[in-house]
Amino acid sequence: MAGGELKLLGAWPSPFALRVKLALSFKGLSYEDIEEDLRNKSDLLVSSNPVHKKIPVLIHNGKPICESQIIVQYIDEAFVGTGPSLLPGDPYERAIARFWAAYVDDKLVASWMQTFRGKTDEEKAEGVKQTLAAVEHLEAAFKECSKGKPFFGGDNVGYLDVTLGGLVGWVHAGEKLYGFNPFDATRSPLLNAWVERFGELDAAKAVLPDTDRLVDFAKMRQAEAAAAASNN
C-alpha cells in the first residue's frame, strides 16, 4: 500500500480535474487541492506537465502523474486496500471499462463540447446528433456493465462511474443554460437515473461543484468570448 503526500493541480470547473477529485474522495484519500489559474499557469504545473502543460496533475511524493484517466488508474493501483477498488478485478471487465472510458472522452465529450462551442447552427446541430449517438452507445454499455445493478461498477461505484461522473455537474448546468440534457429520461432512462443516483452519493456530493456556480462560470466565459469576437 502506498502512502505519502498527494497534491492535485486542478481548476474547479474542470470535469477532468473533478474525475480525480471523485477518485480520491471515493478512496477516502486526503490531498492538497491546488487551484490553478489557467491563464497564468504556475511554474509547478508547467514543470510537472511539460508536454501538455494542462491540468489535472497529481503529484505523489514529488512525482507527477498526468491525464485524468491515467491518474484515476494510478490512484486505484497505488492505493490498493485503501477504500474500494475502482477498476474491476477481472482482466476482461477491466479492459471493457477502459474501452468505454476512452469512448467517453473521444466521442461523448468531444461532440458535447461542439453543441456549446459550434460556430454555426449547423455545427451545433451536428454536435447534438453525435452526442445523442454516443449516449445511445453508453446507455447500452451501462446495461452491459452494471448487470442490472445501480452503477457501472455493479453494486459499487467503479472506474467508469468516476470517468462519467466528472461530467455530472455540467449535465445539470448545460440543461439550465441550453435546455439540453444528453441523458434525457426518454432516450436514456438508465443513464438519467444513474446521474441522479451518482449525484446523491456522499463521496460525490463532497466534491461536485454547485450547478449555479458552473452556470455563472459558463455565462462569464461566453461574455468574454463575445467581447473578444466583437473586438476582432
Percent of the chain surpassing pLDDT 70: 99
- pLDDT (tens digit per residue) in 45-99: 999 999 999 999 999 999 999 999 999 999 999 999 999 999 999 999 999 999 9
pLDDT reading at 118 higher than 90: no
pLDDT reading at 6 higher than 50: yes
Per-residue model confidence (pLDDT) at position 212: 97
- pLDDT (tens digit per residue) in 21-49: 999 999 999 999 999 999 999 999 999 99
Confidence band for 139, pLDDT divided at 50, 70 and 90: very high
Q: How far apart are CA 149 and CA 142, in angstroms?
A: 9
pLDDT reading at 3 higher than 80: no
- pLDDT (tens digit per residue) in 152-208: 999 999 999 999 999 999 999 999 999 999 999 999 999 999 999 999 999 999 999
Q: Which domains does the chain have, with CATH numbers?
A: 6-79 (3.40.30.10), 91-214 (1.20.1050.10)
Per-residue model confidence (pLDDT) at position 4: 84
Per-residue model confidence (pLDDT) at position 1: 45
Per-residue model confidence (pLDDT) at position 65: 98
The mean pLDDT of 113-122, rounded to a whole number, is 89
For the chain, the straight-line distance linking the first and the last C-alpha, in angstroms and rounded, comes to: 55
Confidence band for 2, pLDDT divided at 50, 70 and 90: low
Mean pLDDT of the chain: 95
Per-residue model confidence (pLDDT) at position 232: 67
| pTM of the predicted protein model | 0.95
Using DSSP's 3-state secondary structure scheme, residue 4 falls into: coil
